[in-house]
């Protein structure tokens, strides 16, 4: 069996009957616990010469939403302080200047890792987009990603506003950029739901990341880059998972798929249950 989104093989699992797990496995088959995913990336990249806290700069692109912070914490605990390049929805609006700044901080050996993920929530009833922010003491349901949900609502109501608002720069750019890069439908009669908008955001982030990294690689041919893009999923009771849409290595100008090491040892996932690819 292969993942319908990334076409990578996944292990079959029996459904637990839990609505959250059912939705998670249907929409994001092979999702990892955050701790497991970051650990696997380390185990896979060390043989390639990427050493935590030694010779590697990590760049993190997540949504500004505080609910994404456990992912950043896992990454920085493993690799050290990160250069932050994410905006609303996880979009990479730091642009050429931001990426140039990150690459200017290159370690002597020129090793970079990028974790660039959009995000979505699935609640205990299996509903997509809903989350209880228990860590911040809120009692009612909220939405994640709020920016992508607002975008989806505009599309569904045939009220899409693509004018540029100087007081809402990131949201203005988010809508235009996803429509342009991912070819998202703007037809209200066939409006994409939040899941489809989220996947379009993932695709857009991947396109942007690869473009910026290739540009740097043209100038610095001896540098090595590891790229991970996908979707962070917020589950019940503060649990977090991530689905990996694409994992790549860029070495000497060649972008190639990165296959995770099977020798991962003991894992410590974030959340109540890990789901390895």
- Answer yes or no: is 78 within a domain: yes
- Answer yes or no: is 268 within a domain: no
- Answer yes or no: is 261 within a domain: no
- Answer yes or no: is 87 within a domain: yes
- Answer yes or no: is 258 within a domain: no
Whole-number Å distance between alpha carbons of 54 and 47? 14
* 263 touches 11 (CB < 8 A): no
Please report, in angstroms and rounded to a whole number, the separation of the first and last CA atoms in the chain: 11
The pLDDT value recorded for residue 231 is 98
- Answer yes or no: is 271 within a domain: no
Residue written as token pair 């901080």: 105
pLDDT in tens, 209-263: 999 999 999 999 999 999 999 999 999 988 999 999 999 999 998 999 999 877 5
* 130 touches 99 (CB < 8 A): no
The pLDDT value recorded for residue 14 is 47
Query: How many residues are given for the chain?
Result: 277
Residues with Cβ within 8 Å of 72's Cβ and at least 6 positions away in sequence, in order, are 60, 62, 82, 84
Q: Which domain holds residue 213?
A: 22-253
Residue written as token pair 């660039």: 116
- Answer yes or no: is 12 within a domain: no
pLDDT in tens, 6-61: 555 544 444 457 999 999 999 999 999 999 999 999 999 999 999 999 999 999 99
DSSP state of 123: -
Bridge partners of 117, per DSSP, are 230
The pLDDT value recorded for residue 132 is 82
Residues with Cβ within 8 Å of 207's Cβ and at least 6 positions away in sequence, in order, are 181, 182
The pLDDT value recorded for residue 155 is 95
The count of domains in the chain is 1
> 243 is written with which tokens?
């689905």
- Answer yes or no: is 267 within a domain: no
SS (H, E, C) 22-40: HHHHHHCCCCEEHHHHHHH
Residue 150's CATH number: 3.40.1050.10
Does the structure show a pLDDT above 80 at 113? yes
Whole-number Å distance between alpha carbons of 69 and 63? 9
């Amino acid at each position: 069996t292969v993942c319908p989104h990334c076409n990578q093989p996944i292990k079959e699992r029996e459904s637990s009957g839990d609505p959250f797990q059912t939705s998670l496995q249907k929409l994001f088959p092979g999702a990892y616990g955050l701790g497991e995913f970051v650990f696997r990336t380390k185990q896979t990249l060390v043989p390639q010469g990427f050493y935590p806290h030694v010779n590697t700069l990590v760049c993190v692109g997540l949504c500004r939403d505080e609910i994404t912070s456990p992912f950043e914490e896992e990454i920085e605990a493993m690799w050290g302080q990160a250069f932050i390049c994410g905006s609303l929805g996880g979009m990479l609006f730091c642009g050429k200047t931001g990426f140039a700044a990150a690459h200017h901080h290159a370690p002597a050996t020129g090793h970079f890792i990028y974790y660039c993920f959009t995000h979505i929530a699935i609640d205990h009833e299996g509903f997509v987009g809903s989350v209880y922010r228990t860590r911040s003491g809120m009692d009612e349901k909220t939405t994640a990603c709020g920016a992508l949900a607002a975008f989806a609502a505009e599309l569904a109501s045939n009220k899409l506003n693509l004018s540029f608002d100087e007081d809402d720069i990131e949201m203005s750019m988010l809508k235009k950029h996803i429509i342009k890069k991912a070819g998202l439908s703007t037809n209200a009669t066939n409006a994409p739901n939040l899941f489809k908008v989220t996947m379009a955001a993932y695709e857009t982030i991947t396109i942007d990341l690869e473009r910026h990294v290739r540009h740097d690689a043209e100038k610095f041919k001896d540098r090595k880059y590891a790229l991970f893009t996908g979707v962070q999923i917020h589950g019940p009771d503060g649990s977090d998972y991530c689905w990996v849409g694409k994992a790549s290595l860029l070495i000497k100008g060649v972008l190639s798929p990165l296959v995770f090491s099977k020798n991962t040892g003991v894992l410590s996932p974030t959340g109540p249950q890990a789901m390895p690819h």
